[in-house]
């Protein structure tokens, strides 16, 4: 697994993919949070809070992560190198996890510089350090689990097609579905009377919001881990189907 991880990370940073992904994410968040006027601008908002960032980051991830993961298996299939890769003394799961952790590591590299926002906001308050640190760290944890889930979905989407654009679109559609669709379904009159809560709990957004409150509930952690495992296993099944 480590050899695949090392190879993938080297590939990301030997091309524009890694730098462009990180740069675009940081540029957009920086402009929206500090430059562009509006409700999401921290200086206009008037409170020492990073709510705008944690609302916006998942939306950007819906584009960023599929762009990072779309080549994972699609490129290998298209170039005919997947079979060569499979002949190496590596299990399918090692290859999948190597690509998964490499893509997730790249996403984490894009998140790390945003800790500057945390420091900046804590210093800008009327009283230094007057910020809900528990909520911020909980939100970062939620963002990590969300990124890992989107990455697992992206890896799975990449295993379904030899075309990177198709994989990119599939990844976005599946990520959007699991993130927002159940919130929308829960809003329908058909699911009122307590049922709406259970419907919304199937989606990622409800669990992301729950962790973002700063209270780490084991149910939220288990939910995200289950999503990751399901899509990793699904990817493994797709790769193994070539032997059937």
Q: Which residue has the higher pLDDT, 149 or 48?
A: 149
Stretch among 2-16, 142-156, 197-211, 226-240 having the lowest mean pLDDT: 2-16
The answer to whether 69 and 158 are in contact (CB under 8 A) is yes
CB atoms within 10 A of CB 175: 25
Q: Which is higher by pLDDT, 188 or 175? A: 175
Q: Compute the mean pLDDT over every residue in the chain, rounded to the nearest whole number.
A: 84
pLDDT tens-place string over residues 76-120: 887 777 777 777 777 888 889 999 999 999 999 999 999 988 888
Quick check: 22 pLDDT over 90? no
Who's near 233: CB < 8 A, 6+ residues apart?
Answer: none
Residue 156, pLDDT above cutoff 60: yes
Cα–Cα distance measured from residue 66 to residue 173, given in angstroms and rounded to the nearest whole number? 10
CA pair distance 20, 115, nearest whole angstrom: 20
The pLDDT score that the predictor gives to residue 175 is: 94
pLDDT at residue 128 in the model: 62
Task: Please report the pLDDT score of residue 204 as a whole number.
Answer: 92
Tokens 């299939």, residue located: 77
Backbone φ/ψ region at 201: left (φ over 0), alpha (ψ -120 to 50), beta: alpha
């Amino acid at each position: 697994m480590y050899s695949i991880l090392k190879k993938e990370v080297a590939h990301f940073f030997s091309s524009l993919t890694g730098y462009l992904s990180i740069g675009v994410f940081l540029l957009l968040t920086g402009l929206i949070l500090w430059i562009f006027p509006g409700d999401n601008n921290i200086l206009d908002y008037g409170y020492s809070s990073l709510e705008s960032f944690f609302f916006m980051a998942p939306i950007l991830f819906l584009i960023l992560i599929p762009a990072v993961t779309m080549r994972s298996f699609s490129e290998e299939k298209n170039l005919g190198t997947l079979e060569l890769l499979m002949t190496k003394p590596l299990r399918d799961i090692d290859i999948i996890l190597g690509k998964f952790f490499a893509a997730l590591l790249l996403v984490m590299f894009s998140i790390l510089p945003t800790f500057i926002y945390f420091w900046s906001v804590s210093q800008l308050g009327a009283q230094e350090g007057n910020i809900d640190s528990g909520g911020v760290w909980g939100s970062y944890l939620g963002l990590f689990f969300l990124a890992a889930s989107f990455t697992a979905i992206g890896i799975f989407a990449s295993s379904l097609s030899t075309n990177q654009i198709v994989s990119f679109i599939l990844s976005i559609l599946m990520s959007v579905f699991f993130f927002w669709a159940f919130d929308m379904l829960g809003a329908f009159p058909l699911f009122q009377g307590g049922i709406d809560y259970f419907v919304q709990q199937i989606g990622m957004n409800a669990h992301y919001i729950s962790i973002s409150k700063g209270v780490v509930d084991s149910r939220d952690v288990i939910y995200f881990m289950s999503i990751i495992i399901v899509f990793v296993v699904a990817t493994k099944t797709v790769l193994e189907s070539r032997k059937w």
